[in-house]
Amino acid sequence: MKIIDMRSDTVTKPTDEMRQAMAAAEVGDDVYGEDPTVNRLQELAAETLGMEAGLFVPSGTMGNLLSVLTVCNRGDEVIMGNLGHTFLFEAGGISALGGVFPHTLPNQADGTFLLEDVENAIRPDDIHAPISRMVVVENTHNRCGGTVLPVAYMQDLAEIAHRNNLHFHLDGARVFNAAAALAVDVKEITRHVDSVTFCLSKGLCAPVGSVVCGTRDLIKRGLRIRKVLGGGMRQAGILAAAGIISLEKMTKRLGEDHARASALADGLASIPGVVFEMGMPQTNMVFPSLTEDIRLSTREIATRLGEMGVKVGVVANRRFRLVVHYWISDEDIVTTIQSFKRVLSTQ
Ligand code: TLP
């Protein structure tokens, strides 16, 4: 049975071209800075995002953590969304390892938080208050539905952050999906931030890795933090070789995933009992919800779909997440819609 795995785009396996490039990669000891393929990836990433320098890290989680630890002292505060990945899904790392305080703001349905909330969250210069040091924003926003934050919003947020001497970090795990959806060069998004983490191992199909980009000074400090976190890898060019293909090729095809995600949502929305929020999906993530008249539990439906070879994520009591990626074909979209129809008609 063919398995259609849409639990996440993290499940993507490397392409044949990546596997060949990995086998042939020129490598060296990257902790000595001597891996030519890692160096090429880092330079290419920085150039693509319009930043001064890049640093290859094992995961998006480490990229965000490293960015926070590089900028913040113990007791400092980071302003972030209450539905952001850094707050919800990074195991509290910034507090556990950095003694850094998250100051959460309510994420709106579109993934933003209100600019006035940011202004109000910034602490006065008062010995009783923690020091506000950083703002973290996520684009695309995962938990809000793979939503795209507009360039104008990034610019407005940057203005507030910089006027208040705050560092502006972008969790851009899927920033190339945002750029594709907005039909802009990714630099239009990243030019507003001081640092960005983006992932090679999600829609971009590399087996492992993310890159943090920022100023040369930030990356130099980040290199030490990466070592502290145990993220200094040796012949990592084997991995970086796939990442180079991610950047050169896979970033250019994400529109295909978005089109398939729309087709999937259209098909699912035609099934009685399945509903979507207005204007969704915006990128490669599809979040169908169930109306009250569906009696089967969301978990039970996911289990039955799984038995039919369709793996989906359950994100809330009546809500699924299906993520479209490189290995999902038009035929898989049709099969998934049919499978949902079958399961929901047997309740
Ligand atoms: N997201 C994963 C899960 O952790 C939820 C997924 O399946 O979507 N930022 C964002 C916005 C992310 O979505 C993720 C992964 C990360 C950071 C962390 O990346 P990794 O998994 O490489 O540590």
| Contact call for residues 326 and 257 (beta carbons, < 8 A) | yes
Could you give the CA distance from residue 6 to residue 256 in angstroms, rounded to a whole number?
15
Neighbouring CB atoms inside 10 A of 28's CB total 17
**What is the distance, to the nearest Å, from the Cα of residue 93 to the centroid of all Cα atoms in its chain?**
17
Q: Length of the chain, please?
A: 347
For ligand 1, atom 4, the nearest C-alpha belongs to 89
The per-residue pLDDT for range 126-177, each reduced to its tens digit, is 999 999 999 999 999 999 999 999 999 999 999 999 999 999 999 999 999 9
Confidence of residue 341 (pLDDT cuts 50, 70, 90): very high
Could you give the CA distance from residue 211 to residue 328 in angstroms, rounded to a whole number?
25
pLDDT for residue 154 = 98
The per-residue pLDDT for range 7-65, each reduced to its tens digit, is 999 999 999 999 999 999 999 999 999 999 999 999 999 999 999 999 999 999 999 99
Could you give the CA distance from residue 273 to residue 195 in angstroms, rounded to a whole number?
42
Could you give the CA distance from residue 151 to residue 191 in angstroms, rounded to a whole number?
10
**Interacting residues of 20 by C-beta distance below 8 A, sequence separation 6+:** none
- Check if 5 has its Cβ closer than 6 Å to any atom of ligand 1: no
Confidence of residue 347 (pLDDT cuts 50, 70, 90): low
- Check if 195 has its Cβ closer than 6 Å to any atom of ligand 1: no
Q: Which residue has the tokens 């989906």?
A: 312
Q: What is the pTM of this model?
A: 0.98
Answer yes or no: is pLDDT of 333 > 90: yes
- Check if 284 has its Cβ closer than 6 Å to any atom of ligand 1: no
CA of 7, closest atom in ligand 1: 7
Q: Of 312, 322, 326, 50, nearest to 189 (Cα)?
A: 50
How close is the Cα of 329 to the center of ligand 1, in Å? 23
How close is the Cα of 206 to the center of ligand 1, in Å? 14
How close is the Cα of 174 to the center of ligand 1, in Å? 9
* β-bridge mates for residue 316, sequence order: 319
Q: Which two tokens stand for residue 138?
A: 């996520």
Confidence of residue 308 (pLDDT cuts 50, 70, 90): very high
